[in-house]
Structure 1
Amino acid sequence: MEEDEEDEVDGEDDAPPSKKAKAAKQAMDDLFDEEDIEDDEDDDDEEDEDELAVERAARELEAAEEEDARLAEEELQTNIAESKRFVLPSGQEIEAGGRVSEDLSVIQMRIRDNLNTLRNFKELREEGRSRTEYLQVLQADLCFYYGYNDCMMERFMQLFGLDELIEALEANEVERPVTIRTNTLKTRRRDLAQALINRGVSLDPVGKWSKVGLVIFESSVPIGATPEYLAGHYLVQSASSFLPVMALSPLPNEKVLDMAAAPGGKTTHMAAMMKNTGMVVVNDFNKARTKSLFGNIHRLGCTNTVICNYDGREFPKVLGGFDRVLLDAPCSGSGVIAKDPGAKNNKSEDDFMRCSTLQKELILSAIDSVDANSKTGGFIVYSTCSIMVDENESVVDYALRKRNVKLVDTGLDFGRPGFTNFRGKRFHPTLEKTRRYYPHAHNMDGFYVAKLQKLSNEIPKRQPDEEDEAPKSNGQATAAKGSAAQNGAAAANAAKAKRKLPKPGKARAAPAGSLPSAPEADADQKTKRKVKRLQDTTVEVEGLEAKSHRQQRQERKHERRQAKRGAAAAGGSNKAAKQRKAGSA
């Protein structure tokens, strides 16, 4: 073996020089190539270290975003699967579970799943369950989650669609921005804004639609106690309250009426627009509220106002001939729930009915107070802080039918048009000229504004209408209904009896000396009995009519006696008081 290895070495040594040189060169090249590769790898490592120092955070952020997107997609698919598996609980199951102990997150998830099912009801509904059942469960959950009673929540569900309903309810949970109105009788908006900014107030113009409004974001000082406020340079007022006065647009030297004026924000706005000229008659039914009205008028420097305290329904008998009238009618306050959360659960159908009746009486009184022959006016603006149809469109439609008025454009550039058809009830087509404002859509209190123009001072003849009747108590309504039905039935029976009585001179006389046949005798007997019954019926009907008249007379006499007794009692008490006063003297 050693000899063989020596032979191989000797053989290599015996190789030609050129081959040895080539082999050595190839070995050196391979060595340098390996070194170059190692150097390149070292350079790459250094570059990687430099990139990690600069871009590591970006790569980690991108990876985190991709992971979040993946998880969100998985969650979405899970929610879709859960919505498909949503099983509607029955009312008994909900009551058995006990709402007081039920977690709000569970109710919120059920509301969300229920809404998803209702949006795609054909595919996601449970077999054998109707849409009404889903809506009933949704209404109950929304009432419990947001704190509404059934009456108010049902009205909200009728007014808004499913997609808009949650937005409207959530908007009522958030307070509206604080807004102020510049008093142009004493300052300009630019100067007022600069003065408040210098005091540490963050503000902006309320919008392009108003030249006097400012919205307050933050303030280091009480906004209702600054020197500018005390000097009457501005008034804290909601943005939606600007709208009725802007729609009315009173002109200088006009005679204007504010029928329900307290606390005076709209009154002082009108006085500023009229530049303290003309006359603004300011009325409010509640005498206690006129104190705040007087204070605001005095502080803002309004000198063209006259304050009075009358029932607005009787105001045409007190004073009339106005150029323009503003009626901001009392209402349910369904548009200002963010300010008054008590409106969620303290309103009933009777409350809405009473508000609607009062508003109809007030709007007729406002129309009767306006002079249709005014050269510059003849306009009435009706507004409420409610979003309910029976307090807005129904009232204006009633006024269009009862007086010679027409709806005109409000002049407001934004807001949703009023309803011309709501739940099968049709209103006058021109009601689309009225404007509606919602908290979730316009970021201001819910409001309604309508502008009417009076065409004639003549009142149309009264036509029988169910809505004309004044509201009565339950007993009075039942008695009136029964009396009307009794009188109507009696009149109908009397007319029917008179029509069926044989007319005189029409009966054919039988020949003298002839005897009637048996069939003719039977027919005569039947006719006589029929006539007798009809005559008895007529006598009975007349007796009922006379009895009804006697009852009415007795009721009137009883009322007069009660009135006299009340007057006598009042006079006696006054006389006794005078005697006691004289005795003490």
Structure 2
Amino acid sequence: EKKKEKKKEKRVVLKVRLIMPKKAVDGKKKKKGTVDEGVKTKKKATAAEKKKQSKKVKKVEPVEESSEEEEELLEQQPSNLFESDEEEEEAEDNMDVLDWARGGEDDSDEEELEIEKESRRLEQQKAEEEEEAEAEMRDKIADETERSGVQFNQELKDLGEIRQRMEATIEVLGSFRELREEGKSRTDYLYQLKTDVRSYFGYSGWLASKILHLFDPAEALKFLDANETPRPVTIRVNTLKAKRREVAQALIRRGVNLDLIKWSPVGLQVFESTVPIGATPEYLAGQYMLQGASSYLPVMALGAKENERVLDMCAAPGGKTTYIAADMKNTGFLVANDSKKERTKALSANLSRLGVRNAIVTNYDGRKIVTAMKATFDRVLLDAPCTGLGVISRDPTVKVSRTYDDERQCAHMQKELLLAAIDSLSVKGGKAKVVVYSTCSIAVEENEAVVDYALKKRHVKLVDTGLSFGTPGYVKYRSKRFHPSINLTRRYFPHQHNLDGFYVAKLVKLAPGAKLDKRREGEGDGERAKKKRKIEKEESDDEEDEDYENGEEEDEEDYEEDGEEDEGDNEEDGKEEEEKEEGEEEE
């Protein structure tokens, strides 16, 4: 009955609300924020408080009697203000919400408690699932870490086995006759060594074969190991602005541990530094330059003098150019050329920072620079573009990025550049005109073969480089034979000299033009020139035949020695060895 009465009262209030102003129903206007505070209070109520409230006896507030005006208005309105029962029920629900917001009684306390219990249960379940997921993730990470550690240890173990096998193979090749296994030829051991080198050091097959052809097996392993360690940091003192002792003392005061390079009058080797060596005040003032020690060598061989005309054909970024300017003491005329325009910016910046005033920067193709400059230079430095097989410690990508085609293209360009450099030299003045050719490659095709080509095409000769150390150039390499004077050139290797792989050759120009040019000033001169060329050709052919015969005799001796070592091998092994050698040569 109480519920029915309450429901009836709500209907009356709702009907009054619909036809009367809010003040007439509520009497007084509530303050702002009352509903919000009631909602907040309701949300903050705990479950225990709600249980206590549900146990309390519900008080039924007496409904105020409606005034005469309200009754008259109700009588004037139709008995049913709603079109359907659903609308009436919806209005009642809205009134319930309104009463709850005003702090009135709530009949759904028990239902809300059940919902809250369910919500708490779901939240707790979610938290447990998250904890389980985190624990599972931690276990998974631990398993993967352990698995990767096992895999890493396995890889280390495999590399250790490969290293031991390489050393054992090299030992067998060093004493092949005593230590070889029965039925295995030298080619089999070399093939196994090449495979292990590729697996252990990560070289391509072409480059691994080239290194094993260039060195004996034991020295090849030393060379490969040296390429895995970086070269020392070196700086070159700019004698245009400072002396080596002054720069060394200033850097030592700044916490730099360094020492003098004995074979260079301007070099310093840095062992340790507490400051950035390329950002000190001395560096910014142009007193020194960060420069690899191997790049000192071609400038030292060039030996530029004061008041000379010098050309640096491939000058960027300017390390060698500024060294030449210091040797010239900012006198004479120095041309710093580079074929790539974007590199000339760094070249100009270094020339300016180091105080070079006798140089100009040009952007010509070195192969065509003769047409622009003509033959006017006393000395030319050609540090030719190359495959970079000597700087693997600085650029490990060379191990797999260089191919036979790269080497062939570089060698072709180097030959053209060297001929252009020789043609750029003047023949006037009576002084010796010098070209220094250098590369940062160890390939014979880019070094001795290029210089030998120039000796055949131009009137030049090789002279001593003037360098106090270095390995002589190769006069023989596999089936190739070069001019005997090639041994005056110098090679540098990381495992022997602790420098980047480098090659330096010094040539002197004897006469202008190319060899075997036809010069006819008259018929008689032409006939005499033809006879002279014929005689020279016959003599050169005889010399080549002698060199070839000597090479064949040496090859036969080597073959006989190998035959003595390989006694006991059957004919089938010999055939297999020849087939493998032919396959390697074709590759």
Q: What TM-score range do you get, normalising by the shorter chain?
A: 0.5 to 0.7
Q: Which residue among 237, 252, 255 is the counterpart of 2:306?
A: 252
Q: Summarize deviations over 1:257-278 as a string: whole Å, max 9, x none.
A: 0000000000000000000001
Counterpart of 2:168 in structure 1 is: 113
One of 354, 363, 379 as aligned partner of 2:418: 363
- Among 422, 425, 434, the alignment partner of 1:379 is 434
Secondary structure at 2:514 match in 1 = coil
Q: How do residues 505-584 of structure 1 correspond to structure 2 at under 5 angstroms?
A: none
> Residues 497-552 of structure 1, C-alpha deviation per residue, up to 9 Å, x if partnerless?
xxxxxxxxxxxxxxxxxxxxxxxxxxxxxxxxxxxxxxxxxxxxxxxxxxxxxxxx
Looking at structure 1, the residues matched to 456 and 429 of structure 2 have their Cα atoms a distance apart, in angstroms, of 22
Match of 2:63 in 1: none
Equivalence for 1:241: 295
Q: Is the 8 A contact 1:335 1:447 kept in 2?
A: yes
1:37-56 residue pairs with structure 2 within 5 A?
none
CA distance in 2: counterparts of 1:430 and 1:233, whole angstroms: 39
1:469-522 Cα deviation digits (max 9, x unpaired): xxxxxxxxxxxxxxxxxxxxxxxxxxxxxxxxxxxxxxxxxxxxxxxxxxxxxx
- Within 5 A, what are the aligned runs for 1:445-484? 445-461=500-516
Determine whether 1:144 maps to 2:214. no
Q: Distance in 1 between matches of 2:394 and 2:278?
A: 17
1:316 to 2:402 alignment: no
Q: Name the residue aligned to 1:202.
A: 257
Amino acid at match of 2:306: P
Measured in 2, the distance between the counterparts of 1:462 and 1:114 equals 53
Aligned to 2:584: none
Is residue 389 of structure 1 aligned with residue 444 of structure 2? yes
CA distance in 2, matches of 1:123, 1:440: 29
Matched, 1:261 2:352: no
> In structure 1, what residue type is equivalent to 2:325?
A
CA deviation after TM superposition for structure 1 residue 123, in Å: 2.1
Give yes or no for contact 1:332–1:386 (8 Å, CA) kept in 2.
yes
- Secondary structure at the aligned position of 1:296 is classed as helix
Residue in structure 1 matched with residue 285 of structure 2 by the alignment: 231
Q: One-letter code of the match for 1:105?
A: G
For 1:103, what is the secondary structure of its paired residue?
helix
TM-score by length of 2: 0.61
Specify the SS of the correspondent of 1:457: strand
Q: Which has the larger radius of gyration?
A: 2
Aligned length: 364
| Contact 2:435/2:506 (<8 A) preserved | yes
Whether 2:357 is the aligned partner of 1:295: answer: no
**Letter matched to residue 264 of structure 2:** S
- Report if the CA contact (8 A) 1:323-1:374 is conserved: no
Q: Is the deviation greater in 118-127 or in 177-186?
A: 118-127
Shift of residue 372 of structure 1?
Answer: 2.3
| C-alpha RMSD over aligned residues | 1.5
1:220 aligns with 2:298: no
| Residue 126 in structure 1 maps to residue 177 in structure 2 | no
> What is the deviation of 1:101?
10
Within the candidate set 310, 335, 339, 1:285 is matched to 339
**Identity level (%):** 56
1:339 maps to: 394
Q: Which amino acid aligns with 1:390?
A: E
* 8 Å CA contact 2:456, 2:515 repeated in 1: no
AA aligned opposite 2:377: F
Q: In 2 relative to 1, CA 100–151 (structure 1 residues): closer, same or farther, beyond 3 Å?
A: farther
**Shift in Å at residue 460 of structure 1?**
2.1
Letter in 2 for 1:145: Y
Q: Give 3-state SS (helix, strand or coil) of 2:511's partner.
A: coil
CA distance in 1, matches of 2:417, 2:394: 25
Runs of 4+ with >4 A deviation: 99-102
The letter of the residue matching 2:344 is: T
Structure 1 regions of 5+ residues with no counterpart? 1-98, 464-585
- TM-score normalised by structure 1 residue count: 0.61
1:374 and 1:160 map into 2 onto residues whose CA distance is 44
CA distance in 2, matches of 1:444, 1:123: 36
Q: Does 2:463 correspond to 1:408?
A: yes
Q: Which residue of 1 aligns with 2:242?
A: 187
Amino acid at match of 2:490: R
CA 220–167 in structure 1, closer or farther in 2 if over 3 Å, else same? same
Q: How far apart in 2 are the matches of 1:356 and 1:374?
A: 33
Within 2, Cα distance between the matches of 1:168 and 1:193?
A: 32
Q: CA deviation at 1:420?
A: 1.0
Q: Which residue is equivalent to 2:228?
A: 173
* Contact 1:182/1:213, CA 8 A, preserved across alignment: yes
Superposition pairs for residues 78-89 of structure 1, below 5 Å?
Answer: none
| Structure 2 gap ranges (5+) | 1-153, 519-587
Tell me how far 1:124 sits from its aligned partner.
2.0
